[in-house]
Amino acid sequence: MAAADKSARAAGGATAGPAGGKVSARVPGRPPRPVVVSLMLSMALVALDSTIVSTAVPQIVGDLGGFSAFSWVFSGYLLAVTVTLPVYGKLNDTLGRKPVLLFGTSLFLVGSVLCASAWNMAALIAFRIVQGLGGGALQSTVQTLAADLYPLKDRPRIQARMTTVWASSALLGPALGGLLAAYAGWRWTFLVNVPLAGLALWLTARHLVEPVRSPGRRGPVDWAGALGVFACGGLLLFALVQGGVAWPWLSAPSLSLLGASAVLAAVVVRVERRAEEPILPGWVWRRRTIAAVNLALGALGLLMVAPMVFMPTYAQTVLGLGPVGAGLVMSLMTLSWPVSAAFCQHVYRRIGFRDTAALGVSMAAVILFSFTLLPHPARPWQPALVMLLLGAALGLFQLPLIVGVQSTVGWAERGTTTASVLFCRTVGQSVGAALLGAVANTTVAARLADAPLPGLPSRLEDVSRALAEPGALSPAATEHLRAAVAAAVDHIFLGATAAAVAALLILLLVAPRRFPVLPEQQ
């Protein structure tokens, strides 16, 4: 039987999938250029979406009102993307990548048109959730297809390209959003997605060809598990997003939401154990490699909150840079990340996936800690250098784990595996935003309470406004506030350092030294 399997692989034949069906075991070659373009467009859609809308906030609020609820334009989208990742991952393995990608692109396109036609803030938030339901399919399926279409030796190249597209779109988004909002109207920040999504949809439908699978591969879709995952994840993320903002962490709403999500999690585990084809199969956590990568990238999501969320605040509030200067400081990380990712293959081919990732996250821990040693006030080139080095370290950390874990599973399990990795990373970001945000608020509040100076703002919400208005405070009070914000960001980077150390320990203690790469992937 083993010899027959080897012969079938060598001949490009089919092997049995885990559910009894047959999937093509053909080693992937170089995919057609239109398919690659469609993947790049799909990645650009997801990356461009949030950043392009952020600069249109004044125009949207001025037209629709509802400033107090505007944060849910972003939170609702993120919530929908996150909780649907496991569902789309399983559907990728059950129904195939192409139908899921076509559905997700179509839903994203429809959501964009609906957002452009929103008549009030409630409608815009609802339509952003529709967009997020499509975005979850795009994010999960594009990463899975990258592993399907490229052999192991070429995957760093396509992953580096997608990282470059993500970084370029994130940098281009604010400028493009500002131009569209100023000269064409804020609705065009959503309508600009229509031609991109339409082209990606056409290229995918016309040029993407998947391996032939027998009907026996398709098991029943676990809709009960999908609904449970959606409800449980939704409640948990809603509690993390609103906790410490809309209500205190130890208040009745927070405790009720967290308790309800824990009860739903227990229900989901029970449902999934009985399901024939569970949305969240137990093997995702029983296999050491996948479990270790999930936990390590969850820690990555947490530590990424420090440079991505709080570095712009530090650059503008403490260093006194404008929005453009703050953006340039942060952009250095997005420039070095894809370069490091493109070259990391030369490292992991020598020392392996785990040790390469461990090297990258060790460097990241040192770099994150070095930020706390910067003088006050720092010169702009100093945090800029930290961001440049951090991007290089994280490129060396993330890509070997994604490429490595995708290479340990076959076609019929790759969608679920990829989605679990992305889901853990996104949940890590949500948890990190809640935890590190609480650290920042606590530090600034303590500095304000102990301040010997009169005239300082009494509420945390007024700190940024006071520093942004020249002459609002005395020079001594201004310097005290800047020092308070600098101390808060230092504590946040210490928390990020702890997350990097936790990721390193997970890799060393849980992950196998050599990933069990499948023979057809080598």
CB-CB contact of 296 with 357 (8 Å):
yes
Q: How far is CA 274 from the centre of its chain?
A: 30
What is the value of pTM for the model shown?
0.80
Region label for 244, one of left (φ > 0), alpha (ψ between -120 and 50) or beta (otherwise): left
Pairing assessment for the beta strands 22-24 and 14-16 based on DSSP bridges: antiparallel
**What is the DSSP code string of 53-111?**
HHTTHHHHHHHH--GGGTTHHHHHHHHHHHHHHHHHHHHHHHH-HHHHHHHHHHHHHHH
CB-CB contact of 303 with 365 (8 Å):
no
CB-CB contact of 518 with 28 (8 Å):
no
Radius of gyration of the chain (CA): 23
Which H or E run contains 174?
Answer: helix 155-183
- Calculate the dihedral angle through the C-alpha atoms of 333, 339, 345, 346, rounding to the nearest 10 degrees: -110
Going residue by residue through the chain, which has 522 residues, state the pLDDT in tens, using 9 for 90 and above.
333 333 333 333 333 333 333 444 444 456 778 888 888 888 888 888 777 877 677 778 778 876 666 667 877 888 888 888 888 888 888 888 899 999 999 999 999 999 999 988 888 989 998 999 999 899 889 888 888 888 877 777 787 788 778 777 777 777 787 778 778 888 898 998 999 999 999 999 888 887 665 444 456 667 787 788 778 877 887 787 777 666 777 788 888 888 988 898 888 888 888 877 787 788 888 899 999 999 999 999 999 888 887 887 788 777 877 766 777 787 788 888 888 888 888 888 889 899 999 999 999 999 999 999 988 778 888 888 999 999 999 989 998 999 899 889 888 888 889 888 988 988 888 788 778 877 887 787 777 776 666 656 655 555 656 655 656 666 777 777 778 888 888 999 999 999 999 999 999 999 999 998 887 654
Phi/psi of residue 210, nearest 5 degrees: -100, 165
Could you give the CA distance from residue 410 to residue 39 in angstroms, rounded to a whole number?
21
Could you give the CA distance from residue 376 to residue 393 in angstroms, rounded to a whole number?
25
Closest by Cα among 506, 287, 507, 298 to 417: 287
SS3 track for 262-292: HHHHHHHHHHHHHCCCCCCCCHHHHCHHHHH
CB-CB contact of 352 with 358 (8 Å):
no
pLDDT score, position 334: 80
Distance in angstroms between the alpha carbons of the first and the last residue of the chain = 21
Q: Find tokens 């993330």 and name the residue.
A: 398
